[in-house]
């Protein structure tokens, strides 16, 4: 089995959680109980997820010229990821998400995308050689669409499989959908993309079909505990989820997408890849947080072999 080679073009954020009794009213100053800070952003999560599952990973991205940016770079290098295509942006700060959580676990968020929205077509052009040589190009929607479009075009010059995880959901132009080999929405993202509520297997299949009609080659809709539905021309396959005691499903989608990308880069079939992705997603749901919950290959293999 050759080592998977994955390029992620995507976002990095510092997620700062503040825990309080209640959420602040306008003008109110609250004394919080504690805070917790963790590296996040869907690009960073999926890049680290793929790395933990054994792939060589290059992240194309931007961080600010600030303390958080330095922390992010240290984290990526401690995971053994290539840093050559991460720019330190002097014009914008690092991406930050401030998440206030009250006693009822209700939350309010402020997301400042910062340098992530400055990841430019020129950045992917500078990484064109690695991109064309990669097995898989993996992207999400926390960066400009024009950059996604340029990355997909470059990937098509090579033999690189283009995987787009359309999160957070927003409508996508056909010029992008036509060139994506594999789209991986969850049920609510599938609804935003198609207008079809993908709540049941039948509706999810219809939403997948609508995306195929727009030119996507294959759609895999994630179904939470129910696993995933592979929709491709003339054939739909339900790959059942794996039963776990879920404590926090944050990051499950990132773990799933990372698992899928790694397995496909290793030459596995869509069914085999979806099974591995389900194991990764389920394992991440057993631990709190997003990045800290992303499993390693050893953990996935031990879990797969468990009776």
Site for ligand ADP in 156-215 (CB under 6 A): 186
Q: Strands 13-19 and 86-89: what pairing? A: unpaired
Q: Select from 282, 291, 294, 300 the one that contacts ligand ADP (CB under 6 A).
A: 282
Minimum gap (Å) between residue 105 Cβ and ligand ADP? 17
Residues 6+ apart with CB under 8 A from 306: none
**Can you tell me which of 53, 100, 252, 262 binds ligand ADP, judged by CB under 6 A?**
252
Candidates 40-48, 139-147, 216-224, 298-306 — which segment interacts with ligand ADP by CB under 6 A?
Answer: 216-224
58 near ligand ADP, rule: CB under 6 A: no
- Which residue out of 102, 123, 254, 298 is catalytically annotated? 254
Count of Cβ atoms closer than 10 Å to residue 43 Cβ: 27
Burial class, 24, CB count within 10 angstroms (exposed 0-12 / middle 13-18 / buried 19+): middle
285 binds ligand ADP (CB under 6 A): yes
What character string, x for contact with ligand ADP (CB under 6 A) and - otherwise, covers 222-251? xxxx-xx------------xx-x-x--x--
Active site residue 89: no
Whether 155 and 162 have beta carbons less than 8 Å apart is answered as: yes
In DSSP notation, 73-95 reads: HHHHHHTT-B-TTEEEESSSPPE
Whether 246 and 287 have beta carbons less than 8 Å apart is answered as: no
Q: Report d(CA 167, CA 44) in Å as an integer.
A: 13
Query: Active-site residue numbers?
Result: 254
Q: Which residues form the interface with ligand ADP (CB under 6 A)? A: 186, 222-225, 227-228, 241-242, 244, 246, 249, 252-253, 256, 278, 281-282, 285
């Amino acid at each position: 089995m050759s080592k998977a080679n994955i390029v992620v073009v995507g976002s990095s954020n510092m997620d700062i959680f503040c825990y309080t009794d209640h959420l602040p009213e306008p003008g109110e100053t609250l004394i919080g109980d504690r805070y917790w800070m963790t590296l996040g952003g869907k690009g960073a999560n999926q890049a680290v997820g793929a790395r933990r599952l054994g792939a060589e990973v290059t992240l194309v991205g931007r961080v600010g010229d600030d303390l958080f940016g330095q922390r992010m770079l240290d984290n990526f290098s401690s995971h053994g990821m290539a840093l050559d295509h991460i720019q330190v942006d002097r014009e914008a700060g690092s991406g930050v998400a401030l998440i206030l959580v009250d006693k009822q676990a209700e939350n309010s968020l402020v997301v400042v995308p910062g340098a992530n929205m400055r990841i430019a077509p020129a950045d992917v052009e500078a990484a064109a050689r690695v991109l064309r040589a990669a097995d898989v190009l993996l992207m999400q929607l926390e960066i400009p669409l024009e950059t996604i479009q340029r990355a997909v075009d470059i990937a098509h010059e090579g033999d690189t499989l283009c995987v787009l995880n359309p999160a957070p959901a927003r409508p996508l132009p056909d010029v992008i959908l036509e060139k994506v080999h594999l789209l991986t929405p969850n049920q609510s993202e599938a609804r935003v993309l198609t207008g079809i509520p993908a709540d049941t297997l039948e509706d999810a299949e219809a939403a997948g079909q609508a995306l195929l009609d727009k030119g996507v080659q294959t759609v895999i809709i994630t179904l939470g505990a129910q696993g995933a539905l592979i929709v491709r021309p003339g054939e739909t396959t339900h790959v059942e989820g794996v039963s776990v005691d879920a404590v926090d499903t944050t990051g499950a989608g990132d773990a799933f997408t990372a698992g899928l990308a790694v397995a496909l880069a290793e030459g596995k079939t869509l069914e085999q890849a979806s099974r591995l992705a389900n194991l990764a997603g389920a394992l991440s749901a057993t631990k709190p947080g997003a990045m800290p919950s992303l499993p390693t290959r050893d953990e996935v293999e031990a879990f797969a072999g468990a009776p």
